[in-house]
Structure 1
Amino acid sequence: MPLARQLRLAAPLLAGTLLLLTGCATAEPADGAPDGDARAVTLDNCGTKVRVAHAPRRAVALDQGSAEIMLSLGLADRMVGTATWTDPVLKGLAKANAKVPRLADRYPSFEKVLDTEPDFAAASFTYTLGKGGVAPREEFEKLGVPTYLSPTDCADKDNSGDGDGVRTEALTLDTVYGEIRDLARVFGVEERGEKLITGLKSRVGAATSGLDASGVDVLYWFANSDSPYMAGCCGAPGVITKELGLRNVFDDTREEWPQINWETVADRDPDVLVIGDLTRRSQSAESAAQKIRFLESDPVTKNMTAVRKKRYVLLSGQDMNPTIRTVDGVEKVAAALRTYGLTR
């Protein structure tokens, strides 16, 4: 990397160090902060103390979930790149998203991210800011680029194993709302953050109002027909399950997305199948159409109750991830339950 670029990247860190050395209690207001002065922010984020000296002007969102929160906060003009997409962007965000360069559909190289000269980087998943993803957080921070990891993938979650992690406590939408508040605070747009949260809460309330789906068994299938990834009890699908009063047939595992054989799935025989309709092409049976063809032709699955009665609910990958779009998942599953006559 050219020395000049290294120096530019290191500038925020040097500025933060000088502020600490001079004993300043506040930082200078960020230029153009829409909702008032945005001052230096320090966060305890997933076990890392993060200090952001000024509201970011050149932010990168390394996962779709982070990108959609930033876009929902009206921050497209302060973003210089996004990456790691599983689905099309939310329709209401398409115009804003078109203004932000997409660095890669999956993980961009660290060098490509640095070429944008970022002053802030956010990610939805621990893996993205680890070995095998874009780069460990330490590598960004060595160059003065503060990083933020979604608490939905670290709070009450053990990611030390080989899979997608194990929940020690069930995820709730409060953690998603906390992420929105953190990012709104970092960018100095707190009022926008609260408005976004209020809107999401209102949508959940409307979707669940008067709905009683107790006694209905559900299964969530994210991807892969050979060794399928099914939702355990306590991640984003668990939020949907709890909000709607359902029972996940695999609520006896705290793994985020355990791989479960089809014989076991058929034995649990859910009333409803929530299936991921993904646009990526990294595993078998990514789209909903591929999944349904498999379910209706495989001798092990074709006689399941949900398959015989064609009780399918199609969700995007992001609806099944712990993001603002988990609320979309609540709405879509609630609407399907009403359509199928499974509510009281």
Structure 2
Amino acid sequence: MKTTLTTLSLLALATPALAHPVTVESCNRQVTFDAVPQAAVSNDVNLTEMMLVLDLTDHMVGYTGINGWNKLDAEMRAGVGELPELAERYPSKEVLLGAGADFYFAGWNYGMRVGGEVTPETLQPFGIDVYELYESCAHIMDKPVASMEDMYTDLLNLGTIFDVSDRAETLVAGYRAELAAILEELPTDGDAPRAFVYDSGEDTPFTAGRYAMPNALIAAAGGVNIMDDFEKSWATVSWEAVVERDPEIIVIINYGDVTAEQKRAFMMENPAFANMSAVQNDRFVVLEYVEATPGPRNIQAVRTLAEAFWQQ
């Protein structure tokens, strides 16, 4: 049969264009994916939820790093379905290899440690590509202060990697619109409430600096993180510094063995905090871990904070 230009044009129209290979920016690396990952693993509850909202469970072989610190709520239990938890805390390289993983969605201090056993460099020889949570890049490179764009960036990059960009863009557009509606309801006058993020710790508090997601959530809700000049992501500070900056409201992160109510009681009953405005006025607001870390529940977290900040 003689092949004509018309025949070739029809064949081209009948054959869908392949989206891959694609290249995305992951922290300070350019990572190229030759094909859509088919055996992905996500670490931590918030990263796993990003995979769920993009409907990527068919491309996953499991998740890690949840039950060691958190519990899945009913919505997430339904979402992960039959997927196994491969490790309750950080996975070893052997765990990922044993699962046949070809993709690991994690972050620095979200499933990987600088200089640790599991990093993009240690997994690459085994054919496991890594995409790093953007917020966590502050641990290894200079990046802008945390913003809502951090979460949007991850969803859009995952959309590119898994060839579901339309789905990711629709989600992000919806989140932007929802956030805009919240911002329209905020007061236009008055001083921004001073907030302190209390994650954990009694001798010294573990809190969120300017590169951690709560800094962005507080700012979006019209407040100011009293540690917004702290050139860290999540780290410890002194109680003296907290008292000196006199927060008007305490944002408690709820997870782990110490409950939010126990954290509140510790601050309310400690004489060292008796003159702190937040303690004197008993102003506390609770965010679940999955709300306070980058992920789909960040928008609801902003709403929760805004209601607490501007309550009449």
Written as runs of structure 1 = structure 2, the 5 A alignment for 1:141-220 is 141-154=124-137, 157-159=138-140, 169-212=144-187, 214-220=191-197
RMSD of aligned alpha carbons: 2.4
In the aligned structure 1, how far is the partner of 2:116 from the partner of 2:70?
19
Q: Which residue of 1 aligns with 2:249?
A: 272
In the aligned structure 1, how far is the partner of 2:63 from the partner of 2:117?
12
CA deviation after TM superposition for structure 1 residue 133, in Å: 5.1
Maintained 8 Å contact 1:296/1:302: yes
CA deviation after TM superposition for structure 1 residue 168, in Å: 5.2
Aligned residues: percent identity? Answer: 28
Q: Which residue of 1 aligns with 2:8?
A: none
Is the alpha carbon distance of 1:264 and 1:81 closer, same or farther for their aligned partners in structure 2, counting shifts above 3 Å?
A: same
Confirm whether residue 88 of structure 1 aligns to residue 88 of structure 2.
no
Match of 1:314 among 286, 291, 301: 286
- Any idea what the Cα deviations from partners look like across 1:158-196, whole Å, max 9, x if unmatched? 538xxxxxx653122223211111111111111110121
Match of 2:31 among 31, 37, 50: 50
Q: Which residue of 1 aligns with 2:212?
A: 235
CA deviation after TM superposition for structure 1 residue 48, in Å: 2.4
In the aligned structure 1, how far is the partner of 2:94 from the partner of 2:139?
29
Written as runs of structure 1 = structure 2, the 5 A alignment for 1:1-344 is 38-85=19-66, 86-89=69-72, 91-125=74-108, 128-130=111-113, 135-154=118-137, 157-159=138-140, 169-212=144-187, 214-278=191-255, 280-281=256-257, 286-338=258-310, 340-341=311-312
- Any idea what the Cα deviations from partners look like across 1:251-292, whole Å, max 9, x if unmatched? 3322223422223322222111111111x24xxxx3211201
Maintained 8 Å contact 1:80/1:101: yes
Maintained 8 Å contact 1:40/1:51: yes
Residue 30 of structure 2 aligns to a residue whose secondary structure is: strand
In the aligned structure 2, how far is the partner of 1:49 from the partner of 1:310?
48
In the aligned structure 1, how far is the partner of 2:297 from the partner of 2:73?
9
In the aligned structure 2, how far is the partner of 1:276 from the partner of 1:106?
19
Residue 24 of structure 2 aligns to a residue whose secondary structure is: strand
Residues paired across the two proteins, number: 294
Maintained 8 Å contact 1:270/1:305: yes
In the aligned structure 2, how far is the partner of 1:264 from the partner of 1:130?
28
In the aligned structure 1, how far is the partner of 2:262 from the partner of 2:176?
33
In the aligned structure 2, how far is the partner of 1:230 from the partner of 1:107?
21
Residue 159 of structure 2 aligns to a residue whose secondary structure is: helix
TM-score between both structures, scaled by the size of structure 2: 0.85
Is the alpha carbon distance of 1:235 and 1:194 closer, same or farther for their aligned partners in structure 2, counting shifts above 3 Å?
A: same
Residue 251 of structure 2 aligns to a residue whose secondary structure is: strand
Residue 114 of structure 1 aligns to a residue whose secondary structure is: helix
In the aligned structure 1, how far is the partner of 2:121 from the partner of 2:56?
25
In the aligned structure 2, how far is the partner of 1:222 from the partner of 1:82?
24
Maintained 8 Å contact 1:263/1:300: no
CA deviation after TM superposition for structure 1 residue 115, in Å: 1.1
- Counterpart code for 1:43: V
4+ residue runs of structure 1 moved beyond 6 angstroms? Answer: none
Residue 300 of structure 1 aligns to a residue whose secondary structure is: helix
In the aligned structure 1, how far is the partner of 2:30 from the partner of 2:246?
46
In the aligned structure 2, how far is the partner of 1:240 from the partner of 1:267?
23
Is the alpha carbon distance of 1:81 and 1:250 closer, same or farther for their aligned partners in structure 2, counting shifts above 3 Å?
A: same
For structure 1, list consecutive stretches of 5 or more residues without a partner in the other structure. 1-28, 31-35, 161-166
TM-score between both structures, scaled by the size of structure 1: 0.78
CA deviation after TM superposition for structure 1 residue 81, in Å: 1.2
Is the alpha carbon distance of 1:233 and 1:65 closer, same or farther for their aligned partners in structure 2, counting shifts above 3 Å?
A: same
Is the alpha carbon distance of 1:275 and 1:140 closer, same or farther for their aligned partners in structure 2, counting shifts above 3 Å?
A: same
In the aligned structure 1, how far is the partner of 2:196 from the partner of 2:104?
34
In the aligned structure 1, how far is the partner of 2:36 from the partner of 2:206?
39
